[in-house]
Amino acid sequence: MSDVKSIAVRAPAKVNLQLGVGGRRADGYHELASVFLTVSLFDRITLTPAEELRVTVGGVRAAGVPADGSNIAARAVDLLAKRSGLHPGVHVHIDKCIPVQGGMAGGSADAAGALVGCNALWNLGIGRADLVELAAELGSDVPFSVLGGAAFGSGRGERLTVLPVGATTHWVFATAGFGLSTPAVFAEVERRRKDAGRPWAADDIPSPRVSRRLVDALAGGDTAALADALSNDLEPVATSMRPELARTLKTGTEAGALAGVLCGSGATIGFLVADRNAARTVAQGLLASGTCASAHVADGPVPGPEPEETITTGESA
């Protein structure tokens, strides 16, 4: 019996400190101005050599995550194998903790973890910048999920510029008892623009710009100014699609958060708080109110996905 080496990778979720949404391009994507920050909510992806590519999913949020080749982590393994001329014989196990359809790039984190993990498993030695470029073929948020930290994303969110961060930020993430589909939220943005007789095509709307105030607050470690600058153009749309989100936002700020903001296209709400003590108080207030399904305390930024450990067993996967 030969030893089988597994690689485990911890891949973090993200929050958007800013999400500016421009017009729809001819390829169907929207021009974005996105400020991303990784936070300490992690999925764990374990990669073990196997005869064929297969996926299993466990953990507290496994429900509804596809355990087959359609899983974005499987597509990531396949893509990297093709580019490297290898057979994608890997068992991908995802320990799911990041909210599903929560706007926190949970699927993108799994794909990023699979890219970073297979790069190590197969000793490919591909640099982070090249993995980031490859990641864009899998989804708009995957490049940032490979990079981690804090970054500004333009284009459809995949053209990244690293941003400096002056101080750790503290958060509470309130999950909803439901998910929101990203294409559905973007489609609703467009429907509203058309109904209001406003321009909606990328050619007719100036590209959204990064908030200088926000970038300065982030670099200077000024949490109060950062709270003031948080913004997400999808928030009014998501809260009108699901009014219970407005109640969650109100409850979190009343419980002591500095500000609340919709994560990505929802349905999780992120609350920026002063410190860990405030985070515990806000999380308790949110849970007691019954306006969310769960509340998680987290910090950011955290590093992007890294191989955590090598596990050697005598059994094949």
- Positions annotated as catalytic residues are 14, 141
Q: Among residues 4, 5, 29, 281, which is the contact residue for ligand C5P, using CB under 6 A?
A: 29
* Contacts for 150 with CB less than 8 Å, ≥ 6 apart: 17, 35, 36, 37, 38, 162, 163, 164, 165, 218, 300, 301
Reported as type and span, the H/E element at residue 163 is none
Q: Is 32 strand, coil or helix?
A: strand
Helix (H) or strand (E) holding 287: helix 276-289
Location of structure tokens 């941003």: 163
- Determine the Cα–Cα distance for residues 213 and 225; give it in Å rounded to an integer: 8
Q: Which is nearer to ligand C5P, 264 or 300 (CB)?
A: 264
Nearer Cβ to ligand C5P, position 190 or 222?
A: 190
Minimum CB–partner distance for residue 22 and ligand C5P (Å): 9
Nearer to ligand C5P, 264 or 285 (CB): 264
How far apart are CB 55 and ligand C5P at their closest, in Å?
18
Give me the least distance between CB of 297 and ligand C5P, in Å please.
27
Q: Across-strand partners of 159? A: 154
Residue 177 binds to ligand C5P (criterion: CB under 6 A): no
Q: Which amino acid is at 54?
A: R
When binding is defined by CB under 6 A, the residue of 8, 9, 19, 30 that contacts ligand C5P is 30
183 binds ligand C5P (CB under 6 A): yes
Tell me how far apart the alpha carbons of residues 42 and 62 are, in angstroms, rounded to a whole number. Answer: 13
Indicate the helix (H) or strand (E) that contains 133: helix 128-135
Phi, psi of 42, deg, nearest 5: -125, 145
Eight-class DSSP state of 29: P
Listed residue (14, 55, 52, 54) closest to 35, CA to CA: 14
Residue 32 binds to ligand C5P (criterion: CB under 6 A): yes
What's the min distance (Å) between Cβ of 280 and ligand C5P? 33
Q: Please, which residue, 95 or 158, has the CB nearer to ligand C5P? A: 158
**CB 151, CB 163: distance < 8 Å:** yes
User: Smaller CB distance to ligand C5P: residue 24 or 296?
Assistant: 24
Residues 128-157 that bind ligand C5P (CB under 6 A): 139-141, 156-157
Per CB under 6 A, the list member of 182, 211, 248, 251 interacting with ligand C5P is 182
CB of 183 to ligand C5P, least distance (A): 4
Q: Which stretch binds ligand C5P (CB under 6 A): 62-70, 111-119, 167-175, 181-189?
A: 181-189
What is the contact surface with ligand C5P in residues (CB under 6 A)?
29-30, 32, 139-141, 156-157, 182-183, 186
